[in-house]
A and B are shown apart, each in its own frame.
Chain A
Amino acid sequence: GENVEQHPSTLSVQEGDSAVIKCTYSDSASNYFPWYKQELGKRPQLIIDIRSNVGEKKDQRIAVTLNKTAKHFSLHITETQPEDSAVYFCAVMDTGRRALTFGSGTRLQVQP
C-alpha cells in the first residue's frame, strides 16, 4: 500500500507569517493529493486538493505544490491568522486500495 510521511508534526508561527507543511509518498502512480483541516473535536474538512496533471494550485491564502518526480507535495499558508490553528493532514489516493492514505498530521499554532 501507499506510504505517506508528513513533516513537521508541530509548527508554531506568529500571526501574519507563512506556514509550510510537507508530505512525501511512495507510489509514483498516485494521482490525487488533498489536504484536510481538523479543528479540535471536529471532523476533517477538505481545504484544497491537487491532481497529478498540475504542479500548483491556489485558493486565496492557501496553496499546494506538487513535485511528481520527487514524490512530494506541500501546503503553503500565507498571512496566517489565529483561526488557522488546527491539525492539518495530507492524503494520497492509494491506487491499489482506491482509498485515501493519510499522513500523521501537523498541529499548527498561530500565535497572535
Chain B
Amino acid sequence: GDSVTQMEGPVTLSEEAFLTINCTYTATGYPSLFWYVQYPGEGLQLLLKATKADDKGSNKGFEATYRKETTSFHLEKGSVQVSDSAVYFCALTLDSNYQLIWGAGTKLIIKP
C-alpha cells in the first residue's frame, strides 16, 4: 500500500548545523508531497510542497526536492536555528483521492 517513511527522531543538532531529515515514499500513482511542521504547543502548518517530479519546494530556508527515481523528498536546511525546534511530518496525497498519508514525524531539537 501507499506509505511514507521518515527517519526516526529525535534529531539533535547544534545551532548553524546543516539539517537533513529523510523521507521516502511508496505510492501507486503520482503523489503530491508535503512537509508539515508542528511547533511546540501549536497545530500543524504546511512548510513546503512539491506536486511533480523534480519540483523543489522551499520556505523559511528549508528545501526539499521531489525525486521520483529514488522516491524521496528529503528536507534540508543549510543553517538551523533554535527556533527551528519542532516536529516535522512528511506526507503525500494521490490524485485518485485526497486523503493525506503521513509519516510518523521527526522531532528536531536545536541546541544553542
A associates with B? no
A residues with a Cβ closer than 8 A to B are none
B residues adjacent to A (C-beta < 8 A): none
